[in-house]
Amino acid sequence: MTHAGSGRKATVAAEGGPDPRTPLPELLRALDAGPDGLTSAQARERLTRYGPNQLRRHRRRSWWRELGRQVVHPLALLLWVAAALAWVSGTATLAGAIVVVIALNAVFASVQERQAERAVEALTRYLPQRARVRRDGRWQEVPTTDLVPGDVLAIGEGDRVSADARLLDGTVEVDLSALTGESQPAYRSADAPDHAGSRTEAGNLVFSGTSCLADEAHALVYATGMRTELGRIAALSQRVGREESPLERQVRRVAWLIAAVAVAVGAVFFPIGVLAAGMPVADAFTFAIGLLVANVPEGLLPTITLALAVGVRGLARTGAVVKRLSAVETLGSTTVICTDKTGTLTENRMRVTALHAGDELLDPLPERPDRPGVALCALAGAMVACNNAELRTDGAVGDPTETALLRLAAGLGLPDRPDRAARRAQFHFDPKLRLMSTVDAVGGELWLHTKGAPEEVLRRCTTVLTADGRERPLDDARRAELTRAVTEQADRGRRVLAAARRRLAATPGHPPGGAGAGPGERAGVERDLTFLGFVAMIDPPRPEVPDAVARCHTAGIRIIMVTGDHGRTAAAIARQVGITRGDATVVTGVDLDRLSADELRRLLSDRREVVFARVSPEAKLHIAEALRADGQTVAMTGDGVNDAPALRRADIGVAMGRTGTDVTREAATMVLTDDNFATIVAAVAAGRRAYDNVRKFILYIFAHATPEVVPFLVFALTAGAVPLPLTVMQILAIDLGTETLPALALGREPAEPGLMQRPPRRRTEQVIDVPMLVRAWAFLGLISAVLVLGGFFVVLLWAGWRPGDPTGPGSPLHGAYQQATTMTFLGIVACQIGTAFAARTEHASLRTVGVTSNRLLLWGIAFEIVFAALVVTVPVLRDVFGTRPPPPELLALLLLFPPVVWGADEIRRAALRARRRTATRTG
């Protein structure tokens, strides 16, 4: 290719690339591609020319825009009003201070929002998308970002299509809803006629962002990145706003409520100050404004967003990638986990341990098998023919059930590679039918090979292959005998798979079935089979699962196994991992279909130990619905295409990152990068922890209201005989310098012991509830208020003040009064340190968490102390905040404050724990 040529092509591409509706040979020429794909050198060259196959991310909001957004945030606007009022009333310092409050808060909020955004964006790293393409003449997996025009792409069931492409062969059923909004599946076929109308209606094109629901095809990529249909839409559409989580909604409501209270407190103070205490109007006014500003919780929301984002990031590291921030809190309230068996509870490492062929049961399989007989050869042959896996030197690829069958054949010294050249048609494994079949040409004849669930296979068999290779009619006695043998294996927790075959025709003419074959045709072929035997596979439970199951049980979370496997197998595994203890109720898909929605709901609420077996993916949807109707918060796992609706319906849809399909990964709220059940439990624990931590810092932030408000009550109620214990600038100093960092640190508290020994939180429970407010305001706050006022009075009395003595500027006691207000200020800071330690746990004693286990909090407190020290010692700041250091011997009193507040709460918690213990003992 000449340079000039590639230059010209680049301009064509920039204009939208070649028209995919031109006849295929022309399209191939325009793309300079062939039906056998590109070479890696070509792909590399094109990647630099066209750029990576990804949607250009929207530009981040600039720093200034973000700051600007924070500055006009509704709560900030309230503060602006306060600043304006302060300005009008002639106190420029206060007005300036409020503006500083707004500015600092805006900076803090922007930093937090940005960090939260970054944490969420980083998640995509954990879920790399891959595509199968033909390069250098063989199929390879590449990151989807490396796709280039001209690539030949393989599209299979459950795959997300990652570029716009024209089908070369095959037929697929696709979900175009991402592009067209139309949720009906559409059929796209390589043989569809060229279409002149809109591209999305063309019968032979598939598009990036859509997904394949069934069948498979190969396709020629003609557009990538922003040149795809999806890219065009993305270029048009605006950045989608992040949906607010219920937690954030609740907190926003409460923030407004508190803001309203703050306004009311300010409004009430003003007349009382003027009328009852005889304050000068201007002073009363500024103080009212100060109170208002101090109590508006403007920093609360970004702190919560960040706490959730930090939770999300932590989860991703443990193997659970959550796609919405709100999922973290939903996870914490999970009451039921509906889980698959294979691969989630078990390792998905199957090994055949027993088999039955030609009337003979080999259990266990002999180490060194003799030459396999005719029947065994037929069984293994069918299982290898009807198989899409492959054993490679660098490991096996494909469904573990199928690779186990190939390994069995290899162990027997038989061919272990499906002869793809001989295959004429395939009926995919259908989780509803629980069967898979292929039509293969064997020695000039066409044979149907079927494998699947033993009941399903047996039902379609009329004869059975004997040890000497003859076909004998399958009478009822024989059928019952085989069923019994299968059940015996299943009872030991083994996965049983049977195989059968039928000769279709003497000459390979037009094969029946294949891609796009109707269900009628399939049923017409999968009948009158000859039963060849069955194999029993073990798939050991993951070692960490029994522990995780036990953790769920102590945490009051129910586990319901939902599997396509045999009821006995399911029950045995459920028992092995501890999901059920006694005799579980096994509900099969057939039973389930007979139940009405209401009966199902009743069954689920009456019976604690239920195992669903032989159920279809649609049944999962009904189970999710029934549980939700019963008020449960449901996490549901899934991996196949058909599981997607159930995952969407559950509160937390959980997809498998390794074995699952792209379709389920898209429908899910959470993707497990390790497919492990134990990770779901870890995620629930993380969700509970994140929610708890949000409560912890709200408690902390709320607790300071009492020691700030009570002094002014004392002033008002004594009609001014006691001077105001705190100046307005000092209130702002507390609000500004001492709150934010420890609050942030509380958002990262380690989990409290007992976290998973509590029953799940109810969904209706409010994040800010009455006991919490009582603890914040009436307990921690009140103790603080008493200590703080104590400090204030001690300083005043020490200096010889008596109630009613003047303390204003110029009076002899003014210096002592300034020391006393400084004592109040420092007292509140000291008490907040105690409160921070108290807030670290809600039930447990701090000792069990470790006093120094939250480093960030220790830093926050260190900052708080330094800030307070500066306010009291640096001359400029002393003038601004009107502080004056109290006498050292009185300052030493402050050392008592934190341990008193914290200690009081330790005692309160210990008492609560004791009460709960006696309650559980007697109750």
Q: Which does 436 bind (CB under 5 to 8 A by kind): ligand ADP, Mg ion, none?
A: ligand ADP
Q: How far is the CB of 461 from Mg ion (least distance, A)?
A: 24
Q: Closer to Mg ion by CB, 312 or 623: give it.
A: 623
User: 3-state SS string over 458-486?
Assistant: HHCEEEEECCCCCEEECCHHHHHHHHHHH
Q: Closer to ligand ADP by CB, 53 or 342: give it.
A: 342
* Position with the least CB separation from Mg ion: 342
Q: How many helices (H) and strands (E) does the chain have?
A: 36, 27
Q: Give the CA distances from residue 161 to residues 4, 155, 252, in Å, rounded to whole numbers and listed in that order.
A: 32, 7, 40
**Residue 740 within binding range of Mg ion, rule CB under 5 A:** no
φ, ψ for residue 115, nearest 5 deg: -65, -40
Q: Which does 9 bind (CB under 5 to 8 A by kind): ligand ADP, Mg ion, none?
A: none
Structure tokens belonging to residue 570:
């399911």
Q: Which does 401 bind (CB under 5 to 8 A by kind): Mg ion, ligand ADP, none?
A: ligand ADP
Choice among 215, 340, 692, 735 that is catalytic:
340
Q: How far is the CB of 342 from Mg ion (least distance, A)?
A: 5
**Residue 632 within binding range of Mg ion, rule CB under 5 A:** no
* Position with the least CB separation from ligand ADP: 564
588, β-bridge pairs:
613
Q: Measured between alpha carbons, how far is 384 from 263 in angstroms, rounded to an integer?
A: 77
Q: Closer to ligand ADP by CB, 614 or 688: give it.
A: 614
The count of chain residues that interact with Mg ion, using the rule CB under 5 A, is: 1
Q: How far is the CB of 571 from Mg ion (least distance, A)?
A: 17
Q: Closer to ligand ADP by CB, 13 or 572: give it.
A: 572
| Burial class of residue 198 (count of CB atoms within 10 Å of its CB; 0-12, 13-18, 19+) | exposed
Q: How far is the CB of 159 from ligand ADP (least distance, A)?
A: 17
Q: Closer to ligand ADP by CB, 263 or 453: give it.
A: 453
Q: Measured between alpha carbons, how far is 531 from 523 in angstroms, rounded to an integer?
A: 17
Q: Measured between alpha carbons, how far is 100 from 298 in angstroms, rounded to an integer?
A: 13
Q: Which does 431 bind (CB under 5 to 8 A by kind): Mg ion, ligand ADP, none?
A: ligand ADP
400-411 and 374-385 helices, crossing angle to 10°: 150
355, β-bridge pairs:
362, 535
Q: How far is the CB of 564 from ligand ADP (least distance, A)?
A: 3
**Residue 642 within binding range of Mg ion, rule CB under 5 A:** no
Q: How far is the CB of 211 from ligand ADP (least distance, A)?
A: 20
* Residue 339 near residue 359, CB atoms below 8 Å: no
Please give the residues from 328 up to 367 whose contact with Mg ion meets the rule CB under 5 A: 342
Work out whether the CA dihedral 699, 703, 709, 713 comes out positive or negative.
positive
612, β-bridge pairs:
562, 587
CA 652-654-659 angle, 5° bins: 170
Q: Which does 495 bind (CB under 5 to 8 A by kind): ligand ADP, Mg ion, none?
A: ligand ADP
Q: Which residues lie closer than 8 Å to 504 by C-beta, 6 or more apart?
A: 439, 445, 446, 447, 448, 511, 512, 525
Q: Which does 704 bind (CB under 5 to 8 A by kind): ligand ADP, Mg ion, none?
A: none
Query: Can 769 be counted among the known catalytic residues?
Result: no
63-71 and 92-121 helices, crossing angle to 10°: 130
Contacts to ligand ADP by CB under 6 A? 340-342, 399, 401-402, 429, 431, 434, 436, 451-453, 495, 497, 563-566
Q: Which does 905 bind (CB under 5 to 8 A by kind): Mg ion, ligand ADP, none?
A: none
Q: Closer to ligand ADP by CB, 102 or 500: give it.
A: 500
Q: How far is the CB of 402 from ligand ADP (least distance, A)?
A: 5
Q: Measured between alpha carbons, how far is 871 from 392 in angstroms, rounded to an integer?
A: 71
Q: Closer to Mg ion by CB, 342 or 818: give it.
A: 342
Structure tokens belonging to residue 42:
């070509």
Q: Closer to ligand ADP by CB, 340 or 749: give it.
A: 340
Residue at token pair 């909604």: 249
Q: How far is the CB of 455 from ligand ADP (least distance, A)?
A: 9
Q: Which does 739 bind (CB under 5 to 8 A by kind): ligand ADP, Mg ion, none?
A: none
Q: Which residues have a catalytic role annotated?
A: 340
